[in-house]
C-alpha cells in the first residue's frame, strides 16, 4: 500500500509596498499607531457601555420587564463586554510591541506581533460569533470588517519582517566576504 503525502500549505501573499505608495516600515508604523488608538478608544467605549449596563441593572425601576429577563440579558451583555475588554487590551499590548519592533528594527518583535495577531484574529472571529449570539447580527458587521482589515495588516507586517530578516541575512553574508588571507592563497602552489 502506498501512502502519498501532500503538503497542504497556504502561502500568504507578500507585499512590496503598503497601500501601493508607502514603504513597508511606514505602513507598519501606521498600523501600530492606529491599532493603539483603536484599542484605547475601544477600551474607553466598552468601559462606558459596561458602566451604563451595570447602572441600568442596579436601578430597580424596570416596569415592563420581569427581573429574570433583565438578569438574563445583563449576563449576556457582561460576557460580551468582558470579551471586548480582553480583545482591546490584548490589541493594545501587541500593537505596542509592533511599534517598538519597527522603531528598533527588530524582526523578532514583528514576528511575535504576527503570531499574536493571528491569535487575535482567532479571538476576533470568536467575538463575532459571541456577539451574534448575545447582541445581534448588526453588531457583527463592524467586527467582520475589522477582522478583514486586521488580516490585511498582518500581511503587511509579515512582509516587513521578512524584508528585515532578508536584509539581516544579506549583511551577514557580506561580512563573510571580508578579506581572509587563508582564502586568497592559490589552492595549488
Residue 99 has pLDDT above 90, yes or no: yes
- On whether residue 184 sits in a domain, the answer given is no
Instruction: Give residue 46's pLDDT.
Output: 93
90, 123 in Cβ contact below 8 A? yes
Residue 130 has pLDDT above 90, yes or no: no
Average pLDDT, rounded, for the chain: 81
- Which residues contact residue 79 at a Cβ distance below 8 angstroms, ignoring those fewer than 6 apart? 130, 134
Domain range for residue 84? 24-58+69-167
- On whether residue 128 sits in a domain, the answer given is yes
Instruction: Give residue 115's pLDDT.
Output: 92
Residue 120 has pLDDT above 80, yes or no: yes
- On whether residue 119 sits in a domain, the answer given is yes
- Model confidence pLDDT, tens digit, residues 9-37: 567 777 777 776 788 888 899 999 999 99
DSSP 145: H
Helices H / strands E in the chain, number of each: 5, 0
Residue 83 has pLDDT above 70, yes or no: yes
pTM to 2 decimals?
0.74
- On whether residue 174 sits in a domain, the answer given is no
**Residues 64-79: what's their mean pLDDT?**
78
Domain count for the chain: 1
Amino acid at each position: 500500500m502506498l501512502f502519498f503525502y501532500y503538503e497542504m500549505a497556504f502561502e500568504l501573499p507578500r507585499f512590496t509596498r503598503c497601500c501601493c505608495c508607502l514603504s513597508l516600515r511606514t505602513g507598519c508604523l501606521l498600523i501600530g499607531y492606529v491599532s493603539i488608538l483603536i484599542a484605547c478608544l475601544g477600551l474607553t467605549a466598552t468601559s462606558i457601555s459596561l458602566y451604563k449596563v451595570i447602572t441600568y441593572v442596579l436601578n430597580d425601576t424596570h416596569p415592563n420587564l420581569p427581573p429574570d429577563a433583565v438578569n438574563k440579558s445583563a449576563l449576556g451583555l457582561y460576557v460580551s463586554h468582558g470579551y471586548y475588554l480582553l480583545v482591546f487590551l490584548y490589541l493594545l499590548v501587541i500593537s505596542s510591541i509592533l511599534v517598538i519592533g519597527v522603531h528598533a528594527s527588530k524582526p523578532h518583535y514583528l514576528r511575535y506581533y504576527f503570531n499574536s495577531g493571528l491569535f487575535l484574529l482567532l479571538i476576533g472571529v470568536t467575538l463575532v460569533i459571541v456577539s451574534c449570539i448575545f447582541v445581534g447580527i448588526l453588531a457583527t458587521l463592524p467586527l467582520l470588517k475589522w477582522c478583514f482589515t486586521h488580516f490585511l495588516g498582518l500581511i503587511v507586517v509579515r512582509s516587513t519582517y521578512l524584508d528585515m530578516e532578508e536584509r539581516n541575512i544579506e549583511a551577514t553574508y557580506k561580512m563573510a566576504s571580508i578579506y581572509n588571507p587563508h582564502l586568497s592563497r592559490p589552492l595549488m602552489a
